[in-house]
Amino acid sequence: MPGSPRLSIAICGAGPAGLACALALGRAGHTITIFEQFDEAKPVGSGLILQPTGLAVLDWLGLGVRMRALGARIDRLHGTAAGRTVLDVRYAALGDARGLAVHRAGLFNVLHDAVLAAGIIPVTNRKIVGLEKGQLHFESGDRQGPFDLVIDAMGSRSLLLPLASAPQSRRALAYGAIWASLPWQADGFDPHALEQRYRNASQMCGVLPIGRMREGEEAQAAFFWSLKHQDYEAWRERGLERWKEDVLQLWPETVPLLASIKSENQMTLARYEHRTLPLPFGTGLVFVGDSAHSTSPQLGQGANMALLDCHALTQALATHQTIPEAVAAYAAARRWHVRLFQAMSFMFTPFYQSDSLLLPFVRDRVVAHLSRLPPAQRFLATLVSGRLGLKPLV
Ligand SMILES: Cc1cc2nc3c(=O)[nH]c(=O)nc-3n(C[C@H](O)[C@H](O)[C@H](O)COP(=O)(O)OP(=O)(O)OC[C@H]3O[C@@H](n4cnc5c(N)ncnc54)[C@H](O)[C@@H]3O)c2cc1C
């Protein structure tokens, strides 16, 4: 089918969504300019799990081999509360499929290096504050454009969200987490699992092997602790040592990991919010990744959804003559998968992060037993893999 003619495309944001779109659409022959607010394009945060869905998109981009060499293969998600297994999802229920835990910087480096190799140099130190008639407005006061199409990949706090055809207000979630990347400790931790410990739903600690940022560097672990945003200042004031006592009470084996945390500043606070744009486009504008849909990372889908958005948008632009037709086709292609996972994430999050006593009780007594049944194991693996409700990419 004939695609849109060669377009001049502005990509706002150099996160996973923006970089993947730049690479795919640059290869499709469009003229790409990436704008990023940071002085230097760089990743923020610790680690994440690439699911079979996201890995399939990286394979489509020709980046899967390098990414797998940097990341850590994940076979299992395992969580316990008071010594009882309450989460046990095994990818093996799906055959050969596995997750891949990566350092955010590892994913960034793989995408960014490929973008540079394709001759696209992100324009940095450009904070986008508005868009009018295809022209981007920057905080510095100047403008650039017009562009045929603007892709908003600026994440959950994008300032262009009010320009969506049907904007939606965000719902901030009370719980976030403090995160750090630490040297990997082989003793006591499974190198192929996300491991978590819970007390009710108000305390959660996790350890995830995330591999390397670049070839030859040391392997790392993502370490996280659930925290309400409103309690962050109190957490800092209380001091590191008293917090470490809480962590050790929940998970004594974390001693070697905690030893490498010497300052509160090593722990970054991540805030979560829940929002799904019903129509992820506006005039000459399309939203991908967290700007189109953001949620808590309980199901570990965000970066994978961003990569799936990139694939769907590239296909839509390749098979539709006009931009309005293409962005509507992109939205339709992603609609049900996005809605399903946003709903699932919204439903599951309070079982793991909330003040409820009832939900963790149900999780520990009922869900834990049900999830051992083979059909439930397969369902949970399909859910976590991101494949639920999704047609294979190729
Ligand atoms: C703690 C935590 C754990 C997570 N774990 C997982 C996981 O296991 N699996 C998973 O798939 N996902 C996970 N996620 C979600 C995942 O990180 C996001 O879904 C993903 O990063 C979204 O990519 P994005 O490119 O859409 O947005 P972002 O990664 O937010 O990138 C947005 C980019 O836009 C730039 N930008 C923002 N505003 C402007 C502006 N005004 N002007 C110019 N540039 C701008 C930013 O600097 C940034 O570079 C997790 C998220 C968090 C916070």
Question: How high is the mean pLDDT in each 10-residue block of the chain (394 residues)?
Answer: 78 97 97 92 78 97 98 96 90 93 96 97 96 96 96 96 83 92 90 96 96 95 96 95 96 95 93 93 97 92 97 97 96 95 92 93 84 86 90 70
Q: How far is the CA of 112 from the centre of ligand 1 (A)?
A: 15
93 is written with which tokens? 């229920």
Amino acid (1-letter code) at residue 152 = D
What pLDDT, on a 0 to 100 scale, did the predictor assign at position 367? Answer: 78
Residues 131 and 265 placed together within one structural domain of the fold: no
> Is the Cβ atom of 184 under 6 angstroms away from ligand 1?
no
> Is the Cβ atom of 18 under 6 angstroms away from ligand 1?
yes
Task: Report the residue among 21, 37, 273 best suited for mutation to probe ligand 1: largest number of ligand atoms under 8 A from its CB.
Answer: 37
Question: Residue 112 domain-assigned?
Answer: no
Q: How far is CA 23 from CA 110, 160, 307, in A?
A: 11, 22, 11
Question: Residue 321 domain-assigned?
Answer: yes
The count of structural domains within the chain is: 2
Residues 9 and 83 placed together within one structural domain of the fold: no
223 is written with which tokens? 């370490």
> Is the Cβ atom of 176 under 6 angstroms away from ligand 1?
no
Q: Which amino acid residue places its CA nearest to atom 2 of ligand 1?
A: 297
> Is the Cβ atom of 130 under 6 angstroms away from ligand 1?
no
- CATH of residue 310's domain is 3.50.50.60
Residues 36 and 73 placed together within one structural domain of the fold: no
Q: How far is the CA of 302 from the centre of ligand 1 (A)?
A: 8
What pLDDT, on a 0 to 100 scale, did the predictor assign at position 1? Answer: 43
Q: Which of 84, 62, 135 is nearest to 368 (CA)?
A: 84
Question: Residue 387 domain-assigned?
Answer: yes
Q: Which amino acid residue places its CA nearest to atom 27 of ligand 1?
A: 155
> Is the Cβ atom of 159 under 6 angstroms away from ligand 1?
yes
Q: How far is the CA of 148 from the centre of ligand 1 (A)?
A: 25
Count of CB atoms situated within 10 Å of the CB of 121: 11
Q: How far is the CA of 26 from the centre of ligand 1 (A)?
A: 21
Q: Which residue has tokens 């491991």?
A: 195
> Is the Cβ atom of 47 under 6 angstroms away from ligand 1?
no
Residues 96 and 219 placed together within one structural domain of the fold: yes
- CATH of residue 97's domain is 3.30.9.30
Question: Residue 244 domain-assigned?
Answer: yes
> Is the Cβ atom of 304 under 6 angstroms away from ligand 1?
yes
Question: Residue 114 domain-assigned?
Answer: no
Q: How far is the CA of 305 from the centre of ligand 1 (A)?
A: 11
**Contact call for residues 274 and 168 (beta carbons, < 8 A):** no
What pLDDT, on a 0 to 100 scale, did the predictor assign at position 143? Answer: 97
Residues 80 and 179 placed together within one structural domain of the fold: yes
Q: What is the domain range of residue 18?
A: 1-41+122-170+274-348
Q: Which amino acid residue places its CA nearest to atom 21 of ligand 1?
A: 303
Question: Residue 300 domain-assigned?
Answer: yes
List, in sequence order, every beta strand (DSSP E) within 133-185: 135-138, 143-144, 149-152, 171-172, 175-183
> Is the Cβ atom of 138 under 6 angstroms away from ligand 1?
no
What pLDDT, on a 0 to 100 scale, did the predictor assign at position 394? Answer: 55
What pLDDT, on a 0 to 100 scale, did the predictor assign at position 344? Answer: 92
Strand partners for 177: 226, 270
Residues 246 and 392 placed together within one structural domain of the fold: yes
Q: Which residues of 291-305 are buried (b: 16+ CB within 10 A; e: fewer)?
A: bbbbbbbbbbbbbbb
**Contact call for residues 342 and 170 (beta carbons, < 8 A):** no
Q: How far is the CA of 15 from the centre of ligand 1 (A)?
A: 6
- Helix ranges (H only) for the chain are 16-27, 52-60, 64-70, 104-117, 232-238, 240-250, 255-259, 302-319, 323-352, 358-362, 368-370, 374-385
DSSP string, 89-143: EEGGGGSS--EEEEEHHHHHHHHHHHHHHTT---B-S--EEEEETTEEEETTS-E
Question: Residue 253 domain-assigned?
Answer: yes
Residues 75 and 190 placed together within one structural domain of the fold: yes
What pLDDT, on a 0 to 100 scale, did the predictor assign at position 365? Answer: 85
DSSP state of 190: -
Residues 192 and 339 placed together within one structural domain of the fold: no
252: CB partners within 8 A, 6+ apart:
none
Question: Residue 311 domain-assigned?
Answer: yes
Taking the alpha carbons at both ends of the chain, their separation in whole angstroms is 17
Residues 205 and 293 placed together within one structural domain of the fold: no
Residues 367 and 385 placed together within one structural domain of the fold: yes
Strand partners for 195: 78, 207
- Shortest-distance atom of ligand 1 to CA 51: 11
> Is the Cβ atom of 13 under 6 angstroms away from ligand 1?
yes
Residues 127 and 254 placed together within one structural domain of the fold: no
> Is the Cβ atom of 303 under 6 angstroms away from ligand 1?
yes
Residues 341 and 361 placed together within one structural domain of the fold: no
